[in-house]
Structure 1
């Protein structure tokens, strides 16, 4: 099983950073919370700091554990570990994705998501509905 970390990064306006997987990659053209594979002995939080610096040229600060989801893609299985994170700086430059957006929580269901990320989308949407008037 491949261990992968995902960051639910919120900016000052309360929007969440999402990214679309580039052509030629598994789950190409599907949206995900950015992150990447954990290296040996690396924590999920450290992985997220490293991956976001490498793949998007931004700094983040993981703030709290959000959840874990295991998903079988048929040819491989992943264990996706999600953390909430604060955007700490930088300007997004993509190297692994072909598009990104800062999306409002209520808009998340308008995107086609990689299956492993879907439970986190649902959890965020449920939070949003609890705080809406």
Structure 2
């Protein structure tokens, strides 16, 4: 994940201004992304709070502020660009959990294998550009 902004956003730390963020709403303040953002930028101004990454992407696209988005979400919006303003958020693992007995079920195993193959084939979507 990286902080992304729309090209029209006026003030960024590199341009001498204080960053303005698109943040998480209070129902999602416990999520790892929201916690990291609060820890790294405790006094930053939040222009808008949204409950999911899709709404945050829209707000960033419209110039509301910087948004901490997964790469695969941000890449779907060509008007956003990478804006590094601090340390890189830690990567997170993705787990698929099934019950022990489900491992023998051919349908569940097929879905699990398909998901693993899909993520393997599309790794570049989940990694930082360049």
Structure whose alpha-carbon radius of gyration is higher: 2
TM normalised by structure 1 equals 0.29
Higher percent of residues as helix = 2
